[in-house]
Structures are given as C-alpha cells and as structure tokens.
Structure 1
Amino acid sequence: MIKNKKAKWIVRILLLVGTAISLYFVPWLLVKAWILPLPDTVQEQMDEAIGHGFDGMIVYIDQKDKEPSFYAAGWKNKEKKIPANPHSLFKIASISKLYHVAAITKLVDDGRLSLDKTLVDYLPELDGRIENADEITLRLMIQHRSGIPNFTDAPGFWESPTETYEEGLALILDQPANFEPGEDYEYCNTNYLLLNKIMDEELGYDNFKFIQKEILSPLQLNHTYSSLDAVNVDDVMSGYHVGYPHDLKTNDYGMHATAQDVGKFVKALNEGTLFNEREQKIYPYEYEHSGWVPGYQSFARYDKELEAVVVLFYSTTDPDLYNWNLSEIVNNRVIKILKEE
C-alpha cells in the first residue's frame, strides 16, 4: 500500500505519461536488445542494459560451489551522480508475496491457519460482500485462483492509490467475481491484501514481526525491512519513471531489501532449508517471483541447471511496460552468460 500521500499525485502524473514516439520505437529497441551479440560477462551485459535506457541496475548471483557475486551499473542517484551500489536497499514489491506465503506455511504447520478453510471462516464480515467468500480457500487466494477482483485494477486506482486495508477492500466489495473459485487463474493483489489481514487477525499483531522472528532472523537477513519507515532513506536506491523527472525512493511501496538478502531467502526457499519437512510439503506457492512499483522492477530467479539464485533489480519503469519487457530480455541474457561461462 502507498503510505506517502505525495505518491498520490506523483502516480497520477506517471500514469498519464506515454507518447506515440515511445510506442513507435519500443518493438525495435526490444529486437535490438535481443539480437545483439551476447557479451562475455555479466558486467558487460549490465553496462549494455544501461545503454538501453535503465538508470541503474543491481545483480546478485549465488551459484553452487562459487562465492556470491555482486554487480552494479548506472546510478544509485543520478541527480547527485552517485554510482549504483550492489548493497543498496531496493523496493522489492511483489517479491514480498514469497515471504508472506512462507509465513502462512509456518502458521499452518503450527495449526493456527488452514489452507482449506475459507475466507468466511476467517473474515465472516465478508460473507455476502465478496462473491463466493464461503468457497474461496486460503490456498486459492495464495495461488491467485480465487476469482476475486483485483483492487489495483479498479477504475482510477492509480490516480488516488489507497493507503489502508479498508480503503483497498472497499474498491472490490459487492463486485461480481471474475470467475468461479478454482476455475481459472488471474494475478490479484486483493488476495494478498486479505491474506495479510487474516494473518494479522490470527497473530494479534502486524505479521511482519512474525516474518522477522520466524524467517528473517534464522536466515540472518539483516537488511530486509517492512517499509520505508524502517530504513534510512539514503540507503535506498533511487527509482525513476519515464516522463516523470523526480526520484521516487521516498514513496513507500512496502518491503525493502538488498539483493543479497533476497537471494539468501530465495536460495533457502528453493533448497529446502527455510522449512522443516512438514512445512516443505505444505508450501503451496511459487519458488521465484518478480515485482513492479513505479520506479522499481525486481526479479528473483532460481535456475535449477545452474543451481544458482539470480536477483536482478532495475531502477527504471515506464507507462507502456517497455522496460519490463526489456528487463526480461536482459534477465535471460544474464542467465545465458552464466551457462556459457
């Protein structure tokens, strides 16, 4: 959720930006990025990506039997001409869903939650307010198969982003379902708005404290934080949106972490050290993820062939999602470089 009120008018401007020129050139720039000869090193690929228009980039690689590698290119803060730092904090956006599902898994193992209980079982006040609430289980919400409308898709959402659970929920109450529970898949942030509320209600406190105790501390993830309020803003990498001239790092979009902390978490998730044997069987979600908020694109990948975690952060977004498609091309090229080394 966006807590900084300044973000409301910033995002309003961001979402209005977009020109016919950018639409004309996007496909050709993507083709160019795809067909260029593959560089010999990850650093060369990152420098090339900066040349494609990204302001800053961080890559962290942890491959079996090798020391972790840290890379940076471009700017941490382009106004102050501060070079990118691979240890900077970054807004990880929807990568945070992996942490939330890990916490739910531990609560299920403790008998405090059940993946097969329904939304009405935990939030009875939503009976009749969210269609099929008596059939939608926690498992379906985790896996984006609930059919609940996505509150961030509500008309006008980005002109005036919500700041609280109640405000976000109000955007989808009494709306028809997008599909019957379990009958389809649709990525939906409302699922996680509700799951976070359910965890908070069960715990009696903010679920990030549980994440801190049960996940971050055991893994010694000392550079992962709940929000901008918990960090020194000077430690955060600047973020930029095409067409908007100012730094977006002071807007609060949720969890912040270093690439190394994200990498350690994803490694533990994929290699089984995050969970006990029961929890490994319970875990119902993905093992890698990506995230997007204005100014920040984040990718946490695990390549089984390489037995490697690769975390990639990009500090530039745009209204047409050209930079998202471009980053996916760069991601694949980084993996290819690693496989050819």
Structure 2
Amino acid sequence: MRRAPTRRLATALLALSTLVPLTLTSSAAQAAPPTAAVTAVDPSADDCPPQGLDPKLVARLNKAIEDVRKEARVPGVTVGLWLPGRGSYIRSTGVADKATGAPMKPDLNMRIGSETKTFTATAVLELVDQGLVKLDKPISTYLHGVPDGEHITVRQMLEMRSGLFSYSADPDFARALFSDPTRQFTPKELLAYAFSNPNVFPPGTEFQYSNTNYILLGLLVEKLGRMPLAEFIQKRVTGPAHLNHTFLPKGAEFPSPHAHGYTNQTLTGDVEDATNWNPSWGWAAGSIISDLHDLHHWAKVVATGTLLTPATQAQREKFIPVPGFDGAAYGLGLFNTHGWIGHNGSLPGYESVTMYLPKQDATMVILLNTDILHDGFEPSTLFAKAITSIITPKNVYELPAEG
C-alpha cells in the first residue's frame, strides 16, 4: 500500500533516520532461547516438472507478460509459475541493465522489498513457538519506548493494526533518504521519524500498513533471539528452508549477478538507476535480497507453515479484510488475495510478488527491475493480475499498492 509523502514516498520506502534510544527489555532476556524443532525443507523437491504447459497457454502467457511489460515500460521481468498437474513456466524478458542491454535472466539476484516482512514475521512466530513471545502481550512487555506500547500487542503489529505511524510516510525521512540514497540508516533512526508523529488510531480499531511495526518486530527478534536479525533469519528461517541465495544485507551489498533497478522516486522525479542505493532504510520491513529459485520454494513454506507449529500457523492465517479492497485480507505478515497467499514487495528500483494458491498447490513468483507506477498501479500488480486471469481465472490476484 503506497502512500505519498514526497510525491509517493511510502511506496515501499522502508527507511530509517534520526535517533531515539529505545530500551529493550524482556522477561526472557537473560536466558538463551531453547532449541525448537524445525522441519527442514527438501531443496530438491519440485512441485511439478520444469515444462509441460499447454502450448496455447504458454502463448497466451507470453503475450500477456510482454503486453504489460511494454505498456508499463518495465525494463525487465522474470516470471515463474509452478502448476502441479499442468506443468511449469519460467520466462525472463526485457533487459537487466538498460545501459548495456544485458538481458533479464531467471538466475539474477533481486531486491524483494516488503516480502522481507514474511521472513521477519516467521522469525517472530518461531519465538512464539519457543514460548519467548506471546502474541497478545503488549509490546511494552518486551520493548520500552513505543508510543502507547502498553496497549499495542505483538499480534496487532504483525497484522498492521497497531496504529503506529509509518516512518516511511514522514516528509523529513523522505528528504533525508532522497538527499543521500546511499546513506546507512539504523533501526533507532527510523523509529525517531515514526515516533515524531502521533499514532494514527487506537490499536486494533483499524488497518493501516506501517513499516514501523516491522522495524520494532526486528528489534524484538534481536532481543529475545539474542543475535542480530540477519543471523537469526539465516539460522532459523532461510537455513532450514534451504534458501541459499536469500539474506538480509548489512548495507548496500548486492551479490552478482543482479539486475539494475530503475526508479523515479527521486528529488527531481527523474528516473535514476537505484541499484546501489542502500536498503538499510528497510531493514526488517524491506531489505532482503533473493532470487527466483529461493522464492519458488519459500512461497509454499511460508503459506503452509512448514517452519512453524500448526497452532501458530493457524494464528498466522487469521486474515482480516483490507478496507476498500474486495478480496484482499492481511494476516500475520501475509496477504490473502482471492485465495493466493503470500506477499508483494516494492522499493526504489525493484518490485516482486511471491504467492501460493493452496487449493491448486500452485506457486507464482514475479520479479522486475522498476517500481515506477503505471496509471497509478504498481507494475508487479499488473503482471500478477494479467497472469492469474489466465491461469486461475477464479482466483485473480489484486492487491492495493504496497509501501
């Protein structure tokens, strides 16, 4: 869900700025977390053979994807579809680098923006399974310094119903970010932008997509998990899921090969290459890097709760409707849009969609190297809607712009 501070800043402007010392406390802070059972995912398991789709269906998909790419002026896009009983489809089209003309390819590393929230939420829910976090305890039980924190629960933060102002919607943050996109931000700097604004509504009364929730949840994981968030995610989430090309960067590092990303979220509104912009502004809300292969496997893992207990996954899937968007609902770090479960991502230069449709055991991953809106719509949504209109016409993807 995009909002617009400086033009349309909260696009997926997941950021951070000034300094607000947060005191982190926990009843379990002195004890190392117990080892919880984690089910490892078989990295060789594939949902379906790497081909086999009906040629007429392939032709329709090719045309739909190319039509959207040209209409929305997207430099490059990769689409992966895995449809058990029907076959699979992997296609890259366009360019990964406008300067050299290098083609888009399925094996490129990409920034995935707010899809990061699915990893952060999974980390929090693993702490729930370990007994270190209670979903319905106020965040003040674990972290001090959160406005109205004694009334905001961990659950409400996960489901975007806390009422906390999103730092990415703060004009001062926008100016700081766009004045120096290579700047390294810290979580506490982010929170200073958020906490300089009043809360938007009483906790639990409304839905509003706020990146502030997930910065705080990242700090919660670090405190109770007793290690940096990136390390916790690697050891407890991506490692057991065998996601070997997925990680939370410390700064602007971006392993090769990767696609160049293009944005008009700039001070002038001109299009710039955002490849080397520092995503530390997003941290636990939006800075993870991944690729098509990993996201293919992650889609089913996160949607079915492979890494969590059934009871905790059931809590995760308590989807609450998103006001104003028929068929869209949000759970604990997951969207449900007309049956497709997962998340989208957007930050300057990149967008993505990773979704799983349980009733068909189907997976869809879309990765592209721009976040420039087309007629007010995110290009990733245009691709996903066009694709699902063909492959699952009774379950058509449609989400509000993400931020």
Listed as ranges, the gaps of 5+ residues in structure 2 are: 1-5, 10-56, 178-183, 280-286, 317-330, 335-340, 394-403
Alpha carbons 2:96, 2:104 under 8 Å: kept: yes
**Among residues 159, 163, 172, which one is paired with 1:147 in the alignment?**
163
Q: Does the residue aligned with 2:93 lie in a helix, a strand or coil?
A: strand
User: For 1:280 and 1:305, how far apart are their aligned partners in 2?
Assistant: 17
- Are residues 1:114 and 2:134 paired? yes
**Could you say which residue in structure 2 is the equivalent of 1:270?**
303
**Could you say which residue in structure 2 is the equivalent of 1:217?**
239
- Are residues 1:135 and 2:151 paired? yes
**Could you say which residue in structure 1 is the equivalent of 2:346?**
292
1:310 offset after TM fit, Å?
A: 0.5
Distance 1:296 1:228, change over 3 A: farther
1:142-170 Cα offsets, whole Å, 9 max, x none, are 11101111111112322213711121111
**Could you say which residue in structure 2 is the equivalent of 1:309?**
363
Using structure 1 for the length normalisation, give the TM-score. Answer: 0.81
Alpha carbons 2:352, 2:380 under 8 Å: kept: no
Deviates more, 1:245-254 or 1:94-103: 245-254
Aligned AA (1:75):
V
Alpha carbons 2:252, 2:277 under 8 Å: kept: no
User: For 2:203 and 2:8, how far apart are their aligned partners in 1?
Assistant: 34
Deviates more, 1:177-186 or 1:286-295: 286-295
1:176 offset after TM fit, Å?
A: 2.4
Higher helix share: 1
Listed as ranges, the gaps of 5+ residues in structure 1 are: 1-11, 16-37
Distance 1:321 1:200, change over 3 A: farther
Alpha carbons 1:227, 1:252 under 8 Å: kept: no
Deviates more, 1:140-149 or 1:227-236: 227-236
**Among residues 27, 30, 46, which one is paired with 2:65 in the alignment?**
46
1:123 offset after TM fit, Å?
A: 1.4
Aligned AA (1:301):
M
- Are residues 1:247 and 2:273 paired? yes
Alpha carbons 2:74, 2:379 under 8 Å: kept: no
Using structure 2 for the length normalisation, give the TM-score. Answer: 0.69
Deviates more, 1:276-285 or 1:327-336: 276-285
**Could you say which residue in structure 2 is the equivalent of 1:183?**
205
Q: Percent identity?
A: 25
1:198-231 Cα offsets, whole Å, 9 max, x none, are 1111122212212212221222111102127596
Q: Does the residue aligned with 2:390 lie in a helix, a strand or coil?
A: helix
1:258-282 Cα offsets, whole Å, 9 max, x none, are 0221121111122343323343234
Deviates more, 1:283-292 or 1:94-103: 283-292
1:244-299 Cα offsets, whole Å, 9 max, x none, are 45421112321100022112111112234332334323435124111111111111
1:290-311 Cα offsets, whole Å, 9 max, x none, are 1111111111122345421111
User: For 1:198 and 1:228, how far apart are their aligned partners in 2?
Assistant: 18
CA RMSD of aligned residues (A): 2.6
1:103 offset after TM fit, Å?
A: 1.0
Aligned AA (2:226):
G
Q: Does the residue aligned with 2:274 lie in a helix, a strand or coil?
A: coil
Distance 1:164 1:94, change over 3 A: same
**Could you say which residue in structure 2 is the equivalent of 1:207?**
229
